[in-house]
Each structure stands twice: as structure tokens, then as C-alpha cells.
Amino acid sequence: MKKGCRLKYLVFLIGIITFWIIGFEVKADEPLVIVIDPGHGGENLGGQYEEYTEKEINPIVARAMKEELEKYEGVTVYLTHEEDVDMSIKDRAAFAKEKNADFLFCLHFNMSVKHDLFGAEVWVPAAGEFYSKGYAFAEIQMQEFTDLGLYSRGIKTRLNDKDQNYYGILRYCTQEGIPSVLIEHCHLDHASDQPFYQNDEEKLKEFGRLDATAVAKYFRLKSEELGVDYSNYPVSEIKIPSGIVRPDETEPELCRIEVDAVNEETGEAAVTIKARDADSYILYYSYSVNGGNSYSDLQIWPRPEAWNRSQEENKVTIPLPFDQGIELRVCVYNGFDKWSESNIVNIEPIADPQRLADELEKAQEEAMKKKQESYEEIVYEDVKEPKLSPIPVLVAVICLLLCMVLISFILAGRIALLLKSKKRR
């Protein structure tokens, strides 16, 4: 190679390196762009429960999230809409693309068909780097929910019949090349979750600040105003999947119960439940005392280690009805609400202690009443209606007659003596 060519090549190479360094520095100086999407709006009301409507509470959370995030350094935050308007999901994703967003966070509240589910969950895209980025953030978000006291329903994917992301905001953001997640803060229609949002707008704002903190930790932001620095926060490195990450469509493979003891005084059974789901984890359990014809409300399944780990054995106390035969059965649900039923354990009827006590008290009262009635009858017969024997009466009459006869003889003798004495005179 000639010397002139070598010089040109070297200058060209230096130029490329210089351009790359300058470009990197410019990119590094560019602010982080976050787009927050308050779910629903306009005629699209979202979930409605009692006086709460989702399209009205999502913006409260979103504005609080935006306000909190703007306290961090190097962050620009946008809302997809700040007015109560109809906005298509596709337009929301296009808005994020227009703003060159680094991430879009879609905010929602949940409801269930039977009003029986509770807890928070995060939906993530099902493939590629969008899955790994979404999942890494969702881990942090889920920990924030758990620290707040909410029950975690997990981090999930959901697909439509075309093997695409079921939720439009995730589908369109993926098409636009924008990482995204859909956050379901809690269920509006369940008593377990209602204390986290009802009767105080400040609770909704707390959700927004919580979301902002999760974002700050994920992007390792710092804020002098808040006095926090997440520069070294440990964010999980989630491996990019080679294909689509599908939801768990199979029920738990193990669900079995054993009755350890029955307390006949309290009517409670100590039961050991063994349950396992290798594809996800156990989320809830419920029990039936009539062989599975009807079940109790859903109960929390213990998680000793993390939100996505469940222990295989759970010892519980189950209340039993009195005075009837019992067919005890348990149902367990995995992280995707697929369920399995256990074996049935028959338990002999347990006598109701209260009923037995009431019956004993009633029997004692009846015995006392009969005893009182018998006593009163005896007293009445002795005092009110005396019965005299005829023999003592007859003896008394004869004695009386004899006395009268005797007295008559005595009187007659005295009279005779008086008469004789008179004649002599």
C-alpha cells in the first residue's frame, strides 16, 4: 500500500472513531425519555366499581408518577394524553415513537369476572429484547408492590390467536421499537386490595410515586432533591429468549390434602396441602366442605422466598360446619389462574357444642319445671282438699253418745234425790 493511501486510510479511520466518540457523548448527554400512558379515557371508561372509574383514577397515578420522575436528573417525561379524551392504543404507541421514548409505562387497575381475584401484576412483551427489558423492570416494580403490602400475581405474558402480544399497547410499542410494560396496580373489586386506593386520593398518588421509584431504580437514576442515588442499583440481566415466551396453560400437577387433626370443640380441621406447579408457581388455594360443589374465597398461598416462588407444603386450619357429614376438598391455582382439585377426605359429623349446651340447658329447665309442678300438686292435695277417715268419726260419735247417756243417768239420779228430800220436808 502506498504511503499516500495509508495516510488517507488512517485519517478516515480516525474520523470514524472521532465521529463515534462524539456521537456516543451526544447520546450520553441526551435526556432519558419516559412516556406514561394513563389507561382508557373519553368514552372508554375502563373498570368501574362503586364510585371508582378507571379512566378517572389512572390519570391521578400518572400525574404523580410524572411529577416524581421529573425530580430525577436527566429525565424528560411525557403523558400520552393529559385530557379526558379518546385515544387509540395505536396512537399512544405512535406518540411514544414520536418522542423517541426509551420506555413506555401503561397504567391500569384491574377487575375480575367473578370479583374473586386480588393482587398486582405486570404484563410484559412476549419476545426478544422487549421481553428481557420488560421483565427486568417488572421485577423491580413487583418488589415495590410487595413492599407496599400488595399480593403479587406475578410477571406475565399473554398472546392472542395470532401468537402476538394480546395487549395492544405492548403489541404496537413492540412494532414501533419501544420497550413497554402494562402495570395492573390492584383489583378495584376485591376487599383485600381496596384499602390501597379507596377513600384517599393520596393513596393513588402513592402508587404513582412507587411507579416512579421503580423506573428510577431500573434506569439507575439519582436525585439531589429526593436525596437518593440508584446509580449502583442491581438490575437483573434477563436473557433474551430465542422464541416466544408463552404463558403457562397447564394446571398444577400436584394437589393433595391430608387431615392431621379435627378439633371438635372449635369445629376446625388442621390440614396439610401439598401442591406444585413446575411451570410457574402456586398463587391461591380455596377449600370445599361438600366435595367440590362450592368453594371458599381464594386464600393466599405462602411464598417464603420471593413473589415467584411457592413452597410445596402448606399447613392450614379450615373451619368445618357442625352436625353434617363433610367431604373436604381443596383447589389450588397457579400464577396464570389454572387450577387443580385435590382428593376428597370424608369427616364424620361434628356435634355442635353450642347446640349440645342449649339442649342440656333446656332439659334441665324442663326437669325443674316438672319437679315444681309435682310439688305444687302435693301441697294442693294436702291443704286444700283434706280427706277424713270414717272410723275415727264413728268412734268419736259413739263416745259422745255414751257420755250423753252417762250424764243423763247422773242427772236423773240427782233429780230423784232432790224430789225425795223435798217430800220429807
CATH classification number, 20-229, choose in 3.40.630.40, 3.40.50.880, 1.20.1730.10, 1.10.10.350: 3.40.630.40
Residue with cell 390519570: 59
Mean pLDDT of 121-131: 98
Domain ranges of the chain: 20-229, 254-347, 357-387
Return the minimum-mean-pLDDT range out of 16-30, 124-138, 175-189.
Answer: 16-30
pLDDT in tens, 246-264: 999 999 999 999 999 999 9
Closest CA to 134 of 233, 283, 245, 40: 245
Cα–Cα distance for residue pair 251/279, rounded to 1 Å = 9
Tell which phi-psi region holds residue 220, choosing left (phi > 0), alpha (psi between -120 and 50) or beta: left
Chain-centre distance for alpha carbon 415: 120
Cα 324 from Cα 106, distance rounded (Å): 51
- pLDDT the model gives residue 306: 73
Nearest to 44 by CA among 169, 181, 172: 169
Q: Strand 180-187 relative to strand 120-123: parallel, antiparallel, unpaired?
A: antiparallel
Q: Is the pLDDT of residue 413 over 90?
A: no
- 221-242 pLDDT, tens digit per residue, is 999 999 999 999 999 999 999 9
Q: Say whether pLDDT at 383 is over 60.
A: no
**pLDDT value of residue 411:** 79
Decide yes or no: CATH 3.20.20.80 for domain 254-347: no
Q: What is the average per-residue pLDDT within 292-305?
A: 91
User: Coil, strand or helix: which one is 191?
Assistant: coil
**Angle value at C-alpha 30, between 24 and 36, nearest 5 degrees:** 130
Secondary structure of residue 84 in the 3-state scheme: coil
CA 153 to chain centre: 12
Predicted pLDDT at 86: 93
User: What is residue 10's predicted lDDT score, i.e. its pLDDT?
Assistant: 44
How far is Cα 35 from Cα 87, in angstroms, rounded to an integer?
Answer: 15
Distances from the Cα of 374 to the Cα of 359, 362, 371, 379, angstroms: 23, 18, 5, 9
Mean pLDDT of the chain: 88
Q: How many CB atoms lie within 10 A of CB 100?
A: 11
